[in-house]
A and B are shown apart, each in its own frame.
Chain A
């Protein structure tokens, strides 16, 4: 059913499953742009003037066919050089869900860009060219998705039309992929044969892949369940602001977003770093009072006791509190073009949830080769795109969870205090 049909009918039966963010990993050669173009086109998210502009640009470059990659390449330099510089975000919707695609380029700065795109992604679509099978880059894509805690992975075996829609090819690719990826323990892993060019099994089923009985790519993306995961974790509420209107009212609330878990009126909470316990008296959002907030809700909490809480504090589940840490072990991805010299490790500002503290890189423990997964102990330093295990010392304690259990309280960025550049992305070990 089309989105329009749904809106016109105004049926209440179709559940709005919110938003799913996913990343597409693969190179232009794998047909990634064609796949994204196909998803946008077949869900009516690409409009006539955009197609016409792409057609004009294609013919200006002497291309006969419409080059769908021009839909996602937005900057002048990209069009001039025929490359993609940065993460681009694209949107489409079906009656069941709104989708946000993070489209990342496949060249030198690949790791940095894919790490960025994957950091907010619920799911990853990893493209494989059916003619080429599992390549080094496939392994890299799966590794980064796993590292960034993307629990839902769809392996899109594309260009099936060019291998005669042969099931044996698909089966072999699946075997090869599982050969290295089963060690990752990806919670939800699917394989879908398709031809983005012909439109088989992307949005429509097509007739050519009758031997495959699973869902189309779009149906698989619609089905992915993410709310239960976030709701089932211990609750974490980083405080963004204290809301105190003053004059004529004694209202005092703590504004923030419930990053994980569920919080109900009457629940006992632990305020950190003070360690004080109190009870949620009310959960408010403008003029509404809510009995319960679920993961992702931006609300304001009113607490029963007047305790000292400010921005950067964490309101957490007293039965499952986070760990107080003055040093953290983490994996970082180095994002800066400046080489990080192991002999001159810098201090930096570490931003974790709504709290920023001074931090020192104490040691580079090992560097992880993203292609072979081999660990190189005590590296001389880190270049842009490198991933390494590090130890950090913090000026004040942070309240953390392992990244593998909770993205919001397990992630951080490092900021160079002199240049204000974001130099690293970090994931705290369990």
Chain B
């Protein structure tokens, strides 16, 4: 698939030079090791999505031949693609690492999550289940695959981002973050969210998947799928998102740029069937990752910021 792995680094005098992927990889490994060195009870969010797949690769590079110094955690909305859930389980088993799953449906049964309507997106409700899981296990650091290029509110977030006793993010009162000296200290009940791939873009992620030959769920590659066109998005036809009355169903060649909750994740038209083809398509795209695919970010200019303040990942 890729020849990059075998290619020796370009000559700079007699020393190896570092590509942008080497730089990003080293930074992320450094951050993961700081979490392991300084936090008492960390956890890593693993959903089976591409960003968290990259995180697992980075964790292998940071800690092998030892085990990961943290378990993996997935907050299952119950509206995930079966293939992604199967991929998640298989990857965790292959790595022989512990996977914890907590579900939004359990929170709904407990009554801590209440949706206005049954068909409402459970994406925002994840925050409740997530904070419940953090409390249940007393996690003091939660590592996630969020990137600053994804969204405006995220562009201002720290790599080690403090959450108070209620899991809230206060964007106006963040700790200054200087050099690579991360202040990881929290009081009991508070925690850190840590984002090792903050400085990566969607293009970097795909270039890394290509270079490292990482397996990702096949939904990321072009496949034929029934969709309807709604508000400029291609909404996949599923049991959770059926076509509305009068909406014509089309079958198109599509791929998912993100694989979140089914109720709010849309594919894009594409024929890209390999990481290399996705790299080309990503470099050529004219619409951002979330702009093309997320129904929930379009409701207002600040919807991500509001969700994050309430504890969203």
Q: Which residue of A lies closest to B65 (CB)?
A: A245
Whether a CB of chain B sits under 8 angstroms from the CB of A169 is no
Q: For residue B29, which residues in chain A have a CB less than 8 angstroms away from its CB? A: 257, 298
Q: For the complex formed, measure the closest distance between the CB of B194 and the CB atoms of chain A, giving whole angstroms.
A: 14
Q: For the complex formed, measure the closest distance between the CB of A1 and the CB atoms of chain B, giving whole angstroms.
A: 12
The reply to whether B23 and A298 contact each other, CB–CB distance below 8 Å, is no
Q: Spot the interface stretch: A11-19, A132-140, A358-366.
A: A11-19
The reply to whether A74 and B155 contact each other, CB–CB distance below 8 Å, is yes
Contact of A93 among B62, B203, B280, B284 (CB under 8 A): B203
Whether a CB of chain B sits under 8 angstroms from the CB of A335 is yes
The reply to whether B176 and A116 contact each other, CB–CB distance below 8 Å, is yes
The reply to whether B172 and A77 contact each other, CB–CB distance below 8 Å, is yes
Q: For residue B61, which residues in chain A have a CB less than 8 angstroms away from its CB? A: 285-286, 298
Whether a CB of chain B sits under 8 angstroms from the CB of A407 is yes
Contact of B178 among A17, A88, A119, A246 (CB under 8 A): A119
Whether a CB of chain B sits under 8 angstroms from the CB of A340 is no
Q: For residue B176, which residues in chain A have a CB less than 8 angstroms away from its CB? A: 112, 116, 335, 422, 425
Whether a CB of chain A sits under 8 angstroms from the CB of B117 is no
Interchain CA distance A422-B162 in the complex, whole Å = 12
Interchain CA distance A354-B31 in the complex, whole Å = 11
The reply to whether A292 and B16 contact each other, CB–CB distance below 8 Å, is yes
Q: For the complex formed, measure the closest distance between the CB of A338 and the CB atoms of chain B, giving whole angstroms.
A: 13
Given contacts A292-B16, A425-B178, contact A286 B283 (CB under 8 A): no
Whether a CB of chain A sits under 8 angstroms from the CB of B25 is yes
Given contacts A53-B301, A294-B18, A413-B178, contact A19 B24 (CB under 8 A): yes
Contact of A413 among B19, B60, B183, B286 (CB under 8 A): B183
Contact of B67 among A4, A79, A90, A245 (CB under 8 A): A245
The reply to whether B305 and A76 contact each other, CB–CB distance below 8 Å, is yes
Q: Spot the interface stretch: A42-50, A152-160, A170-178, A203-211.
A: A42-50
The reply to whether A227 and B302 contact each other, CB–CB distance below 8 Å, is no
Q: For the complex formed, measure the closest distance between the CB of B5 and the CB atoms of chain A, giving whole angstroms.
A: 10
Interchain CA distance A422-B301 in the complex, whole Å = 31
Contact of B65 among A77, A112, A251 (CB under 8 A): A251
**A-facing mask of B60-72, CB < 8 A → 1, else 0?**
1111111100000
Report, as a range, how many residues of chain B touch the other chain. Answer: 35 or more
Q: Spot the interface stretch: B32-40, B73-81, B97-105, B218-226.
A: B32-40
Whether a CB of chain B sits under 8 angstroms from the CB of A184 is no
The reply to whether B171 and A75 contact each other, CB–CB distance below 8 Å, is yes
Interchain CA distance A75-B154 in the complex, whole Å = 9
**A-facing mask of B30-62, CB < 8 A → 1, else 0?**
100110110000000000000000000000111
Whether a CB of chain B sits under 8 angstroms from the CB of A311 is yes
The reply to whether B201 and A93 contact each other, CB–CB distance below 8 Å, is yes
Q: Spot the interface stretch: B130-138, B236-244, B252-260, B287-295.
A: B287-295
Interchain CA distance A273-B256 in the complex, whole Å = 52
Interchain CA distance A335-B288 in the complex, whole Å = 35
The reply to whether A413 and B155 contact each other, CB–CB distance below 8 Å, is no
Interchain CA distance A388-B27 in the complex, whole Å = 31
Q: For residue B67, which residues in chain A have a CB less than 8 angstroms away from its CB? A: 245
Contact of B10 among A15, A50, A246 (CB under 8 A): A15
Whether a CB of chain B sits under 8 angstroms from the CB of A241 is yes
The reply to whether B66 and A244 contact each other, CB–CB distance below 8 Å, is yes
**A-facing mask of B183-214, CB < 8 A → 1, else 0?**
10111000000000011010110000000000
The reply to whether A98 and B204 contact each other, CB–CB distance below 8 Å, is yes
Q: Which residue of A lies closest to B148 (CB)?
A: A89
Within 8 A of B (CB), among A238-289: 240-241, 243-246, 249, 251, 255-257, 262, 285-286
Interchain CA distance A101-B12 in the complex, whole Å = 25
Interchain CA distance A47-B288 in the complex, whole Å = 6
The reply to whether B175 and A422 contact each other, CB–CB distance below 8 Å, is yes
Interface centre among A53, A74, A231, A243 (most CB of B within 10 A): A74
Whether a CB of chain B sits under 8 angstroms from the CB of A198 is no
Contact of A241 among B33, B291, B305 (CB under 8 A): B33
Within 8 A of B (CB), among A83-132: 85-91, 93, 97-98, 100, 112, 115-116, 119-120
Whether a CB of chain B sits under 8 angstroms from the CB of A190 is no
Interchain CA distance A264-B212 in the complex, whole Å = 24
Q: For residue B286, which residues in chain A have a CB less than 8 angstroms away from its CB? A: 47-48
The reply to whether B292 and A49 contact each other, CB–CB distance below 8 Å, is yes
Q: For the complex formed, measure the closest distance between the CB of B54 and the CB atoms of chain A, giving whole angstroms.
A: 14
Q: For residue B283, which residues in chain A have a CB less than 8 angstroms away from its CB? A: 3-4, 7
The reply to whether B155 and A411 contact each other, CB–CB distance below 8 Å, is no
Binding site for A on B (CB under 8 A): 7, 10, 12, 15-20, 22-27, 29-30, 33-34, 36-37, 60-67, 148-149, 151-156, 171-172, 174-181, 183, 185-187, 198-199, 201, 203-204, 279-280, 283-288, 291-292, 301-302, 305-306
Contact sample, A vs B, 11 pairs, CB 8 Å cutoff: A4-B283, A18-B22, A47-B287, A89-B199, A91-B199, A119-B178, A241-B36, A256-B33, A351-B183, A411-B179, A413-B183
Binding site for B on A (CB under 8 A): 3-4, 7-8, 12, 15-19, 47-50, 53, 57, 72-77, 79, 85-91, 93, 97-98, 100, 112, 115-116, 119-120, 227-228, 231, 240-241, 243-246, 249, 251, 255-257, 262, 285-286, 292, 294, 296-298, 311, 335, 349, 351-352, 354, 407-408, 411-413, 415, 420-422, 425
A-B pairs, top 6 by smallest CB distance, nearest first, are A74-B152, A49-B291, A298-B29, A98-B20, A16-B19, A240-B33
In the complex, given contacts A89-B156, A119-B178, what are 8 additional A-B residue pairs having Cβ atoms less than 8 angstroms apart? A50-B288, A75-B156, A116-B178, A120-B178, A244-B66, A298-B30, A354-B34, A420-B185
